Amino acid sequence: MGNLRVLGDSDIHGILINLSRTEILLFRDIVSQCLSDHSVSDERKYQPLPGVVNRPEGQRCLFRPFTSPDAVGAKIIVQPAPNSTASSGLHGMIAVCDSDGLPSGILNAEEVTGYRTSLSALIPYLWRRHTERIVVFGAGKQALWHLRLALALRGDEIGSIVIVNRSATRAETLLAKLKEENELRWRSAATMQHLDPSRSDFQEFLKGHLLTADAIFCTTGATEPLFPASYVMTAGRERQPYISAVGSWQPDMIELDPELLQKAVEVISPGSKAGSLLVDDRDGVLHHSGEAARSNLRAERLIELGEIESLRHGEVGEELFEHWLKDGLLLYKSVGVGLIDLVASNAILAIAGDRNLGTTISHF
């Protein structure tokens, strides 16, 4: 029998927060290759469908199995019921076996999910020409990891970060942590502030920030759009933003205004992929995304991140397409690709093995 390594939340956090810029980019390459394998090779057909259970007391459960030539595994994620005493956010675990079914790892899922989801959303962000102004919706782990990675990878280019969250306490806690980590690790000169929705002029200030934002990160399980399309799309705008939406993962959840998606996917030029909605999984977004359901999006106007990564490595060279990726209105919608959990978990387990972290159970 094999040896099983158990990694708790603090072990995984310690590994991920201490990755250098070079190591983060190597991790990015692993995720990018995984997405390409999912989109343009046969890997998609070997991934079982996820299961979702919404219990009457309000608890939401996600069961996501995954396979690869080298390993198999599954993730359990739970969003606690509203009356739960557990902290807000998503909790759970990831179990991994080798290709022979011998258990190799059990990982707390919180940091892994926050990191791999944020890193996936940061892949298109790294294509962008401008990132001076960032607005993030949410104050949980997804928001924190989006900002950590942005600062680690492009901190010297970022001038301001605005956090929008209905709980001032949670937002200020995130800000304090981020400022402390920035001073210790990345030393970006970016200003950081919380925009409190309870202030009387909130909508005016929100619109002002969104009209000048270069990147907008949406990380909440919202059931109504976070802002009107008009707050982003206006005549005479100097430059267009990159917008990621990773927080809503069921049909009754939605972060982006349907009007914004409909405008964003208007055909820019016949035959060009420019102007598509960028997604991690086309079928997943079409069937499990409130944005797709309310916007009546057609499959042909969605393009997968893995497809673009393959095109970019092939140097497609279409000027209009490249301009859209770097400077156009680029929207990314994610509902999760299970295979990323597997490759991310194995990468983390490998680092933990090299550093002798976690608890090892011999002959499990």
Which band of pLDDT confidence, cut at 50, 70 and 90, is reported for residue 322?
A: confident
Mean pLDDT of 258-265: 88
- Residues 16 and 126 placed together within one structural domain of the fold: no
**How much is the mean pLDDT over the chain?**
91
Q: What 3-state class would DSSP assign to 152?
A: helix
Residues whose CB falls within 8 Å of the CB of residue 109, separated by 6 or more in sequence, listed in order: 75, 76, 77, 90, 91, 92, 93, 94, 341
Q: What 3-state class would DSSP assign to 45?
A: helix
Encode pLDDT of 10-54 as tens digits.
999 999 999 999 999 999 999 999 999 999 988 999 999 889 899
- Residues 353 and 333 placed together within one structural domain of the fold: no
Mean pLDDT of 299-319: 75
Q: What is the pTM of this model?
A: 0.92
- Residues 316 and 353 placed together within one structural domain of the fold: no
Question: How far is it, in rounded angstroms, from Cα 15 to Cα 352?
Answer: 8
Cα atoms in the Cβ-side hemisphere of radius 13 Å centred on 164 = 22
Chain centroid, CA 356 distance in Å: 29
Residue 225: which domain range? 120-337
- Residues 218 and 333 placed together within one structural domain of the fold: yes
- Residues 65 and 28 placed together within one structural domain of the fold: yes
Domain count, the chain: 2
At position 94, the amino acid (one-letter code) is I
Mean pLDDT of 303-326: 76
Chain centroid, CA 269 distance in Å: 29
> What percent of the chain clears pLDDT 70, i.e. is strictly above it?
95
Supply the Cα-derived Rg of the chain in whole angstroms: 20
Question: How far is it, in rounded angstroms, from Cα 52 to Cα 184?
Answer: 40
Mean pLDDT of 269-285: 80
Q: What angle do CA 358, 73, 118 make, to 5 degrees?
A: 75
Q: Is the pLDDT of residue 316 over 50?
A: no
- Residues 81 and 138 placed together within one structural domain of the fold: no
Which CATH number do you get for residue 68?
Answer: 3.30.1780.10
Which band of pLDDT confidence, cut at 50, 70 and 90, is reported for residue 361?
A: very high
Q: Is the pLDDT of residue 268 over 70?
A: no
- Residues 143 and 104 placed together within one structural domain of the fold: no
β-strands 91-98, 191-195: how paired? unpaired
Encode pLDDT of 98-114 as tens digits.
999 999 999 999 999 99
Q: Is the pLDDT of residue 225 over 60?
A: yes
Mean pLDDT of 315-331: 80
Q: Is the pLDDT of residue 346 over 90?
A: yes
- Residues 220 and 269 placed together within one structural domain of the fold: yes
346: phi then psi, degrees, rounded to nearest 5: -65, -35
Give the least confident one: 83-87, 116-120, 125-129, 140-144. 83-87
Alpha helices in 71-127 (DSSP H): 109-125
